Amino acid sequence: MTDIDLGRAAILDLGSEDYYYLGDAAAYVPSVPAERRAGVAREAMRQLLREGLVQLYFGNLATNKVVPLPLDEALRAVDDPRAWDGTLHPNGYCFANTAAGDAVYRGEARPGSARHQPNER
């Protein structure tokens, strides 16, 4: 399993539970060396967004008042280091699995076979 595979698995695991801040994705891959975590999480998130397995949102996690971002805006945010900074609270970038991402996480679908479907949380 590659570091990117570990990052993808970690993101899908987190995203299956609730909304999580982008920065949580990098922290949740402890088997990847610390100096590589941010880059691994960023690439894994890009892949999952493009495959429609994860949806990126912006808003207040404490109140679940978040707005889904279009794919092009989500990809730009993933490339912005400030988006991964947890000090933007209460508002910030967060993610959750789409229905297709949950199916892949539960082993009910193959990665890469998903259609983009924002998660209804």
Condensed to tens digits (0 to 9), the pLDDT of residues 54-100 reads 999 999 888 889 999 999 999 999 999 989 987 766 789 999 999 99
Most confident of 10-14, 27-31, 115-119: 10-14
Give CA–CA dist 49/56, Å, rounded.
8
Give CA–CA dist 30/37, Å, rounded.
8
**pLDDT surpasses 90 at 105:** yes
pTM recorded for the entire structure: 0.86
pLDDT of the residue at 114? 47
pLDDT of the residue at 111? 57
DSSP output for 39-102: HHHHHHHHHHHHTTSEEEEEEETTTTEEEEPPHHHHHHHHT-GGGG-GGGTTEEEEEEE-HHHH
Q: Is 39 exposed, middle or buried (0-12, 13-18, 19+ CB in 10 A)?
A: middle
pLDDT digits (tens, 9 = 90+) for 16-52: 998 999 989 988 888 889 899 999 999 999 999 999 9
Domain residue spans of the chain: 3-105
pLDDT of the residue at 110? 63
CATH number of 3-105: 1.10.10
**pLDDT surpasses 70 at 119:** no
